[in-house]
A and B are shown apart, each in its own frame.
Chain A
Amino acid sequence: MNIVPQRGSRIFLALVPFVLIALLYAAGSAERRAENPDDKLLPPVAEMAQTARRLAAEPDRRTGDLLLWTDTAASLQRLAIGLSVATVAGLCFGLAIGLVPTVGATFGTLIAVLSMVPPMAVLPILFIVFGLGELSKVVLIVFGVTPFLIRDLALAVTSLPREQMVKAQSLGASTWQVAIRVVLPQIMPRLIEALRLSLGPAFLFLISAEAIASDVGLGYRIFLMRRYLAMDVILPYVAWITLLAFIIDYALSALARRGFPWAYVEERR
């Protein structure tokens, strides 16, 4: 409890489990290969690297696209549009519900009920209403993430000290001015935190929607390759998706710390 690793040893310790898993995989893969040269379940790392290079650098024979990049672009675009819409909606509704009691009384219960609807259960409805194109996938992400953002931000607003609202009003601020100058800046760090937590569900909805009906995208590719037991494609794709999610998460965290240094004062000490 009292032994705190230094920076260098901390990085080393963090790498240890990854190296262990890699070693386990390599050993398992080699063993299966020795038993059955046609084994598809645990392809050797070299084979996966070769496949990944082919997907990233060589045009697909049928479409002429570089599959990895077209899939990534399509998926990230869906994710970006979905999360942007969810963020704006979550921020506006969350702020209004938390700050203005009348709005809270009107929409609070509705949001509470909506957030209990399992998003995957409405996916068929989205496919029927919005078709099988981009829109239904984006709407699924919006539907899945927004209620959580709204509730989390409304809570963040109500947990601001009441004194601050009174103080702002005693300085002549209107409700609108309190919203944009007092509340909005103070819930921005929480918005980014909530967005980071939403990344997991957002990817879940994205890949599910792509798996069911799509012709391009990371989730589509994985589920397509499943039919051929092509683990040498699936595993690099999963690693790639994980890396993307990790980078987005890290970027959001850095953005929060850079943009709102006052919110992280306690942490630095």
Chain B
Amino acid sequence: MSAISLRDVWVEYGDQIVLERINLEIASGSFLSVVGPSGAGKSTFLRLILGQERPTRGAIMLDGAPLPPEPGPDRGVVFQRYSVFPHLTVLGNVLVGFEFAASKFLARLIGAARREAIAKSEALLEAVGLAVHRDKYPSALSGGMQQRLAIAQALARAPRVLLLDEPFGALDPGTRAQMHALITPLWKQHRMTVIMVTHDIKEAFGLATRLVALDRWRRDPQAPGRFGAAVTYDLDLTRETPVPVLRFSNPVNANGSASRQHGGAA
């Protein structure tokens, strides 16, 4: 579990502003959903915390220390696609995490250490229901099974933060429901902070303890890159109310009504 804080973070590509004035305190152990229309910088936001991209301005802190500027084992990730290694079996895909950790030069384990890592990997595969498929290659798995494998793989290094980039976006509704039922117990059991980017509003409300909407707070047709996306809604979903939308306490209001106008259409 880890707390993440973003302090006045801006991301700019040349003169195009993608994200601006992002101020967020993400509590340790929370499940944060990030929603927003396409091109509103959701994936950029995730890549920032992943360390794949650096903010142009501002600072990101992980448990009070500056976030390392490259991906590391404290932040696991599941992408929508290409998350698993096609050249490794199901077991090998999970095992490789342990091998990276224990064997600096060869990244391979032998003997007792290997047996122990295999046992741990099998426990993780058991948790996502893939134990019987341990010797198959990912290409023989369905889309949902591949994503479950990606989750098991990401859990191998016991990350403090788990980042999900539209992890269930390519799945059919039935499989998606199964994945939802799977992810919540894993989140509680592994005591992680989860940040999930999604297009699915229902999913965002259903799983998360907090929901953040990113959107451009103003549009200038003459200069489309002039205004970046900011946090337009920030909802606490832990309260036991039937319609949390009506209870949002702090609609982050950057510039009066402009934010209201687009935020709802996320």
Contacts and interface: CB of A to CB of B under 8 A. Distances in A.
Category for how many chain A residues contact B: 20 to 34
Contacts of A177: 100, 104, 107
Interface residues of B, number: 35
Contacts of B105: 176
A262 interface: yes
Contacts of B100: 168, 171-174, 177, 181
B87 A170 contact: no
B153 to A, nearest CB: 7
Given A176-B105, A186-B87, A262-B86, A170 B137 contact: no
Contact of A163 (B79, B97, B107): B79
Contact of A262 (B81, B99, B139, B150): B139
A166 to B, nearest CB: 5
Interface of B is mostly: loop
A167 interface: yes
Given A181-B107, A262-B139, A265-B137, A170 B73 contact: yes
Nearest to A264: B139
A166 B71 contact: yes
A185 B137 CA distance: 14
Contacts of B75: 170
Interface in A163-203: 163-164, 166-174, 176-177, 180-182, 185-186
Contacts of B206: none
A262 B107 contact: no
Interface of A is mostly: helix
Interface in B58-90: 70-73, 75-77, 79, 81-87
A177 to B, nearest CB: 4
A17 interface: no
A100 B24 CA distance: 34
Contact of A167 (B79, B107, B139): B79
Given A180-B107, A262-B86, A171 B96 contact: yes
B101 interface: yes
A222 to B, nearest CB: 43
B208 to A, nearest CB: 21
Nearest to B94: A171
A69 interface: no
The 4 closest A-B pairs by CB, nearest first: A172-B73, A161-B82, A169-B71, A163-B82
Interface of A: 161, 163-164, 166-174, 176-177, 180-182, 185-186, 260-263, 265-266
Given A176-B105, A265-B140, 17 more contacts: A161-B82, A163-B82, A163-B83, A164-B85, A166-B71, A166-B77, A167-B77, A167-B150, A170-B157, A173-B100, A177-B100, A181-B99, A181-B100, A181-B107, A185-B87, A262-B137, A265-B137
16 contacts: A163-B82, A167-B153, A168-B85, A168-B100, A170-B75, A170-B154, A170-B157, A171-B154, A172-B97, A172-B157, A180-B107, A181-B100, A181-B107, A185-B87, A260-B87, A262-B137
